[in-house]
């Protein structure tokens, strides 16, 4: 009965960022599908058409169709930042962190030793069908040694998960007994075991990559994805950009030819080799003549979020739509004839028709005040967002596991799944939005912005923001100058 034992789950702040702009991210995902999958694009276009028909007709629609299908893009290449201020990036010289536990000192490889020839590492490449057992047999090592290695620690079992093409190095003593074994898992991680008396000690070397700041910009001819790709942005960075600007720009429907972006982002290197990208540090996005800014800021508690260059929030306190890829089947209407009851009854929310089981997301951070049956609403969740706002989600087939009254939820968190419980003619979500106890149209209500940068962080933020915006200007100008040459 009671939920006295319920513990509010705690969600990391990053969850909030992740949740923001999910709509944009998903739409982008479809646009991102390789060009061979034209069908997927067509589906997206049709979805857009359906929704657009309900709204005022868009004059640029045919342009947009062309934009989605066309593949020509003006490209500008990324440019290495030559001068960066220290606060803008963390430049760590490559250093090796020993993360292993071993009581005995780990055998150290002699560096350029002229004396007794030290045992050498012999490298083996994992072939299809190879197991650690086979590699041991091939190396002339006994089953006992295999057991000793694999059972030496939980971590050592990592050596049993071999990929084809992975390299495993062995080192033996004069008698052919195993001294050590090591294998590189990726460009940053190497696992290793070393003989330690009768057993083996596991260790893991993790290289801290060097992080540098890079600049990229591009102008959109067709899709954001193609322009970003041509500008040298990874898929990950493109998704970050779509998330960051997801409240201001509808990347599926509002992108126009001539839109442009400038981005400062982290790039990771090991020994002058690029091993990946990190976070977007600052960005500008110009959509239909309007420029939006974003600055990543990490506060004193280590929490990172994006703000506009002036310190106001990029996020809105609510996302507009609680379900993805759903069709609006009934709008907010105070004088509607109810389809089941067949009499005039105000429709106090918006209905989204979607397949049973489609996830439903909390539109804002808040506290769950009701989970359960609620008359004609069927399975219903009600969330209170501070003192002013309340949202309701009805006709669910089921709730998200663990969700109960008193739970804290964050924006974008899945709270349940579309169904047809209660008075419903088919599977749909009935969504209501209340301001100070009064129902308003969720599609037209002016959504409040999230909190701006706190006063206590404002000075530090503005210093960083001015620096990054200046850097974007400077890099853009440098690149223009180079193109002119």
State the residues that interact with Zn ion by CB under 5 A: 351, 430
E strands along 271-357, which residues? 273-287, 290-298, 304-307, 327-330, 350-353
At residue 292, the 3 state secondary structure works out as strand
Least distance (Å) between residue 417 CB and Zn ion: 17
Least distance (Å) between residue 392 CB and Zn ion: 10
Three-state SS for 105-132 is CCCCCCCCCCCCCCCCEEEEECCCCCCH
Sign of CA dihedral 236, 242, 247, 251: negative
Least distance (Å) between residue 374 CB and Zn ion: 13
**For residues 225 and 417, which CB has a smaller minimum distance to Zn ion in the complex?**
417
**For residues 153 and 333, which CB has a smaller minimum distance to Zn ion in the complex?**
333
How many residues comprise the chain? 485
Tokens of 159: 């050596």
Least distance (Å) between residue 390 CB and Zn ion: 16
Asked whether the beta carbons of 349 and 331 are under 8 A apart, the reply is: no
Least distance (Å) between residue 422 CB and Zn ion: 10
Least distance (Å) between residue 353 CB and Zn ion: 10
Least distance (Å) between residue 430 CB and Zn ion: 3
At residue 374, the 3 state secondary structure works out as coil
**For residues 70 and 356, which CB has a smaller minimum distance to Zn ion in the complex?**
356
**For residues 296 and 430, which CB has a smaller minimum distance to Zn ion in the complex?**
430
Question: Of the candidates 195, 250, 269, which has an alpha carbon nearest to the alpha carbon of residue 24?
Answer: 250
121: CB partners within 8 A, 6+ apart = 169, 170, 171, 182
Least distance (Å) between residue 373 CB and Zn ion: 16
**For residues 367 and 439, which CB has a smaller minimum distance to Zn ion in the complex?**
439
Asked whether the beta carbons of 330 and 347 are under 8 A apart, the reply is: yes
DSSP string, 405-417: TT-EE-TT-EEEE
**For residues 315 and 430, which CB has a smaller minimum distance to Zn ion in the complex?**
430
Distance, CA of 217 to CA of 291 (rounded, Å): 14
Least distance (Å) between residue 354 CB and Zn ion: 13
Q: How far is CA 348 from CA 191, 332, 356, 359, in A?
A: 60, 6, 22, 22
Least distance (Å) between residue 349 CB and Zn ion: 5
**For residues 266 and 351, which CB has a smaller minimum distance to Zn ion in the complex?**
351
> Which residue has the closest beta carbon to Zn ion?
430
**For residues 307 and 393, which CB has a smaller minimum distance to Zn ion in the complex?**
393
**For residues 210 and 351, which CB has a smaller minimum distance to Zn ion in the complex?**
351
54: left (phi over 0), alpha (psi -120 to 50) or beta: alpha
Question: Taking the CB of residue 213, how many other CB atoms lie within 10 A of it?
Answer: 23
Asked whether the beta carbons of 238 and 131 are under 8 A apart, the reply is: no
Sign of CA dihedral 210, 213, 217, 223: positive
Asked whether the beta carbons of 352 and 431 are under 8 A apart, the reply is: yes
Least distance (Å) between residue 432 CB and Zn ion: 8
CA 150 to chain centre: 35
Distance, CA of 349 to CA of 334 (rounded, Å): 9
**For residues 224 and 382, which CB has a smaller minimum distance to Zn ion in the complex?**
382
Question: Of the candidates 179, 234, 217, which has an alpha carbon nearest to the alpha carbon of residue 32?
Answer: 234
Asked whether the beta carbons of 63 and 86 are under 8 A apart, the reply is: no
**For residues 210 and 432, which CB has a smaller minimum distance to Zn ion in the complex?**
432
Asked whether the beta carbons of 252 and 24 are under 8 A apart, the reply is: yes
Asked whether the beta carbons of 377 and 390 are under 8 A apart, the reply is: no
Tokens of 306: 């994006």
Least distance (Å) between residue 359 CB and Zn ion: 18
């Amino acid at each position: 009965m009671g939920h006295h034992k319920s513990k509010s789950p705690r969600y990391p702040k990053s969850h909030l960022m992740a949740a923001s702009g999910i709509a944009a991210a998903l739409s982008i995902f479809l646009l991102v599908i390789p060009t061979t999958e034209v069908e997927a694009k067509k589906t997206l276009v049709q979805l857009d058409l359906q929704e657009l028909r309900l709204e005022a007709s868009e004059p640029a629609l045919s342009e947009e169709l062309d934009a989605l299908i066309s593949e020509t893009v003006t490209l500008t290449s990324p440019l290495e930042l030559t001068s960066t201020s220290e606060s803008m990036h963390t430049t760590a010289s490559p250093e090796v962190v020993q993360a292993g536990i071993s009581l005995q000192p780990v055998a150290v490889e002699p560096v350029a030793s002229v004396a007794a020839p030290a045992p050498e590492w012999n490298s083996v490449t994992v072939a299809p069908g190879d197991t650690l057992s086979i590699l041991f047999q091939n190396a002339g090592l006994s089953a006992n040694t295999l057991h000793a290695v694999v059972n030496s620690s939980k971590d050592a079992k990592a050596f049993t998960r071999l990929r084809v093409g992975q390299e495993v190095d062995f080192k033996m003593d004069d008698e052919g007994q195993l001294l050590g074994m090591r294998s590189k898992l990726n460009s940053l991680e190497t696992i290793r075991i070393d003989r330690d008396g009768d057993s083996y000690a596991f260790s893991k070397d993790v290289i801290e990559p060097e992080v540098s700041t890079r600049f990229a910009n591009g102008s959109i001819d067709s899709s954001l994805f193609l322009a970003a790709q041509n500008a040298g942005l990874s898929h990950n960075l493109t998704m970050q950009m779509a998330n960051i600007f997801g409240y201001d720009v509808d990347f599926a429907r509002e992108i126009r030819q001539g839109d442009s972006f400038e981005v400062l982002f982290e790039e990771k290197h090991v020994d002058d080799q690029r091993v990946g990208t990190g976070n977007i540090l600052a960005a500008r996005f110009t959509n239909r003549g309007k420029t939006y800014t974003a600055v990543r800021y990490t506060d004193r508690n280590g929490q990172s979020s994006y703000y506009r260059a002036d310190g106001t929030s990029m996020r809105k306190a609510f996302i507009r739509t609680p379900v993805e890829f759903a069709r609006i089947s009934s709008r907010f209407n105070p004088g509607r004839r109810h389809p089941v009851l067949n009499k005039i009854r105000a429709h106090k929310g918006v209905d989204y028709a979607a397949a049973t089981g489609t996830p439903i997301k909390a539109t804002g951070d808040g506290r769950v005040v009701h989970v359960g049956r609620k008359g004609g609403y069927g399975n219903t969740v009600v969330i209170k967002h501070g003192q002013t706002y309340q949202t309701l989600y009805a006709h669910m087939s089921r709730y998200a596991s663990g969700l109960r009254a008193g739970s804290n939820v964050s924006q974008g968190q899945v709270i349940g799944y579309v169904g047809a419980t209660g008075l419903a003619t088919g599977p749909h979500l009935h969504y209501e939005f209340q301001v100070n106890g009064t129902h308003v149209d969720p599609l037209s209500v002016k959504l409040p912005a999230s909190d701006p940068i706190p006063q206590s962080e404002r000075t530090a933020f503005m210093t960083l923001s001015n620096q990054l915006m200046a850097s974007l200007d400077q890099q853009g100008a440098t690149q223009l100058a180079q193109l002119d040459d």
